[in-house]
Amino acid sequence: MRTATTVEASASGAVDFVAEADRLGLDVCWVAEAWGSDAPSALGFFAARTERVLLGSGIMQLGTRTPVAVAQTAITLSNLSGGRFLLGLGASGPQVIEGLHGVPFARPLVRMRETVEIVRRVFEGGKISYQGSEFRIPLPGESVPMRLSTRAQHPIPVYLATLSPAMLRLTGEVADGWLGTSFVPEGASAYFRHLDEGLARAARSRADLDVCQGAEVAFAPDEDVLAAMVAGRKKELAFSLGGMGSASTNFYNRAYSRQGWTEVAAEVRDRWQAGDRDGAAALVTDEMVLATTLIGTEPMVRRRLRVWQESGVDTVRLYPAGDTLGQRLGTLARAIELVREVEGAGAGVASGG
């Protein structure tokens, strides 16, 4: 497995964190956008402060930029970084797209497909002419097709952040990588069966798709500390289940429901929406936290990494815990070492060693 992390540019110490992660040998650093700092500005700065780590937009949201603007940004960052840029796209949700940006969230599946098609046409360097149901370039009238005055000097892989079955099928069909979340290895078929349907539709295999899954990583010295860690994460998970998205559209809640927690996910959402945040957190079980994170004693985390690898994860996205920059980097460094140990052990088994 490769190693990755996600940062937000507005976080304290983000620049130093990324630069040190590069020196630690991290493979990929994704930069989040959400409703905070924009990703491309930070990615350009991080590219100047790093040497080898791949840098990705994790994610740029549909609707906040035109498809051609997305492609322009991707080409610029790829060329400036010497080919180290990965384009991560996601539909986000109605609360951010409509509530913050004031653009319709309607038909995200079609918009995603057409955006990827247009972006790749721009990457090819020809004149841009596209007639879809969501995008028409150029618009009818006196305008004629144009091409960018700049060219992509390196391949630019396209990753999609998706959760719903239809979006997962699209990911398998058209993307170079999948940015997943809310992942339980034991329930991976809830995702992979849809990804595989899309891959088959395009006559591709799992080897053609980089499966990139993320989770918080934290090391507990003993079971008592671990219990406190788990308890502290329950409100964060309750927020994902109840506060992300709108009252009727929460992709995280649906993802947990598909993996066996339908009733508790629904009740957590209802309590959170009703304003009972503590009550919502109290419903989250220890199992839900441990199954979807890499929190535990060091032997526990090592075992879970093996399970992630065996389930089909190619790149593990690590969110290192810690109250200070030094603590987060220390956690990240140890997690990278463990991933390398697991990867090495797996390679030894595969070769018969």
pLDDT under 70: residue ranges of the chain: 245-252, 255, 259, 346-353
| pLDDT tens readout for residues 178-193 | 999 878 888 899 899 9
Write out the residue limits of the CATH 3.20.20.30 domain(s) in the chain. 2-215+298-350
- How far apart (Å, rounded) are the C-alpha atoms in residues 206 and 198? 10
Dihedrals φ, ψ of 218, to 5°? -150, 140
| Residue pair 337/217 in contact by the 8 Å Cβ criterion | no
CA 187 centroid distance within chain: 18
pLDDT at 284: 87
Rg from Cα positions in the chain: 20
β-strands 28-31, 54-57 pairing: parallel
- How far apart (Å, rounded) are the C-alpha atoms in residues 12 and 19? 14
* CA distances (Å), origin 31, targets 14, 38, 194, 337, 346: 10, 9, 26, 22, 29
* CA distances (Å), origin 155, targets 139, 152, 259, 347: 29, 7, 35, 28
- DSSP annotation of 139 reads P
Q: CATH assignment of 2-215+298-350, given 3.20.20.30, 2.60.40.10, 3.50.50.60, 3.30.565.10?
A: 3.20.20.30
pLDDT at 257: 73
pLDDT at 238: 84
Strands (E), 19-144: 28-31, 54-57, 60-61, 85-90, 130-131, 136-137
pTM comes to: 0.89
Burial of 118 (0-12, 13-18, 19+ CB in 10 A): buried
Any idea what the Cα angle at residue 295 is, between residues 289 and 297, rounded to 5°?
A: 135
pLDDT at 265: 82
- How far apart (Å, rounded) are the C-alpha atoms in residues 49 and 294? 29
